[in-house]
Amino acid sequence: HPSARISGITPHGKDGWEIHFAAMARRQAGDDILMLSVGDHDFDTPSATVEACIAAARAGHHHYTQLAGLPSLRAAMARVAGEAAGIATTADEVIATPGGQLALFAAVQATLDPGDHAVMISPYYATYPGTFRAAGAEFTVVEARADDGFEPRADAISAALRDNTRAVLINTPNNPTGAVYSRQCLEGIAELCRQHDLWLISDEVYWTLPGGKTHLSPRALPGMAERTLVVNSMSKSHGMTGWRIGWLTGPADLIARLVSLNLVTTYGLNDFVSRAAIQALDNAWGIDEIAERYATRRRAFLEAVRGIEGITVRGSEGGMYVMLDISGIDLDCERFAWRFLESERVAVMPGLSFGEAASGHVRISLCQSEEVLREATERLRRFVASYG
């Protein structure tokens, strides 16, 4: 039988993704389902990136790379990370990973021993609990309240700290809520981390989608560069989800230690994908177009949804998702999602999949065309009216 360590990562099986899998199965069987459940773009990677990858493969870049990533890739990632945070960043403060998920895994492995404790914020990205469990770490979930625009309060985080707390994990712009944390919120969290000598793991994979705001990274706050680990990725920013390329930024001595994790897990990244990634980073391929596309979709969707009685929206400033407050309708979030799928053929995620704080909500992904989103809004209007 499998080890307790592996079985313990997702002890509840599919962990809230049942609706998504059911919708996928119906779609594959030919049913016309609008898939607003996952966060993967409906468009392809920019063609310049694809061409760069083909050229690199043709040029013979078929070999192992340095374990921490090609030096020129790390340099490009450091430059982008530095610009995103507004703080000088060197290549030795960056380690390349196959996607942000592995960067997150590395950050948790690097900062928590079995039995150590961490704090994370709910609603959260669905892989967070499993990532802590894989490290044998304990964690407390602190709720960010809808009334606060889904921004966590520093005093709530403070109340969750224990003697063995080593790290706090935050995510801004946020999945699933779309909240973009204010400077005041980040300063409060940074203050706690300095006071209690904690690591701050900051998941910033949506850094190019901060809504109307400017992206703020807590790494740039006073005294934080030495205790912040930033999870980053080209999946969302550069339209490269399936390429699996991301990185972790942090203090050079900790990053150097993480080379040993790459040694025993990935043994480095794909050579020709790395070469294409360098060019995509250097030329910012796709960034502005993708950001503009999501901003337009968000505006149009929010406008359409605001006219539906019984539905309210909070948070939802940036990133790729919108949380709909459905507590005015006489259905809990899971029943709502299942019935919406059954009667209107639209797949959305029940809020509970992202933690208790999101009960009474469903998450809509903006990863579909405006036309699909418009059609989904019409179906939502009809569905809600039938419960009015």
| Chain residues in the site for ligand PLP (CB under 6 A) | 39, 99-101, 104, 125, 171, 175, 203, 205, 233, 235, 241, 246
Which pair of tokens denotes residue 25? 């199965």
Q: How far is the CB of 171 from ligand PLP (least distance, A)?
A: 5
238, 82 Cβ separation under 8 angstroms: no
Nearer to ligand PLP, 8 or 242 (CB): 242
How far apart CA 240 and CA 286 sit, in angstroms, is 10
Using DSSP bridges, classify how beta strands 346-347 and 321-325 pair: parallel, antiparallel or unpaired.
unpaired
Q: How far is the CB of 203 from ligand PLP (least distance, A)?
A: 5
Using DSSP bridges, classify how beta strands 349-350 and 361-365 pair: parallel, antiparallel or unpaired.
antiparallel
Nearer to ligand PLP, 139 or 383 (CB): 139
Q: How far is the CB of 382 from ligand PLP (least distance, A)?
A: 30
How far apart CA 44 and CA 388 sit, in angstroms, is 40
The H or E element containing residue 122 is strand 117-122
Q: How far is the CB of 242 from ligand PLP (least distance, A)?
A: 9
Nearer to ligand PLP, 185 or 380 (CB): 185
Nearer to ligand PLP, 15 or 191 (CB): 15
Assign 3-state DSSP to the chain and report helix, strand, coil percentages, each to 5: 45, 15, 40
Question: 271: Cβ–Cβ under 8 A, 6 or more apart, which residues?
Answer: 56, 61, 62, 63, 64, 65, 70
Nearer to ligand PLP, 278 or 384 (CB): 278
Nearer to ligand PLP, 146 or 248 (CB): 248
Nearer to ligand PLP, 125 or 383 (CB): 125
301, 366 Cβ separation under 8 angstroms: yes
Nearer to ligand PLP, 189 or 329 (CB): 189
Strands (E), 237-360: 246-249, 312-313, 321-325, 346-347, 349-350
Q: How far is the CB of 199 from ligand PLP (least distance, A)?
A: 17
Rounded to whole angstroms, what are the CA distances from 289 to 108, 298, 372? 33, 14, 19
How far apart CA 275 and CA 27 sit, in angstroms, is 36
Q: How far is the CB of 130 from ligand PLP (least distance, A)?
A: 12
How far apart CA 308 and CA 349 sit, in angstroms, is 19
Q: How far is the CB of 104 from ligand PLP (least distance, A)?
A: 6
Q: How far is the CB of 98 from ligand PLP (least distance, A)?
A: 8
Q: How far is the CB of 243 from ligand PLP (least distance, A)?
A: 9
Other C-beta atoms lying within 10 Å of the C-beta of residue 267: 10
Nearer to ligand PLP, 125 or 132 (CB): 125
168, 202 Cβ separation under 8 angstroms: no
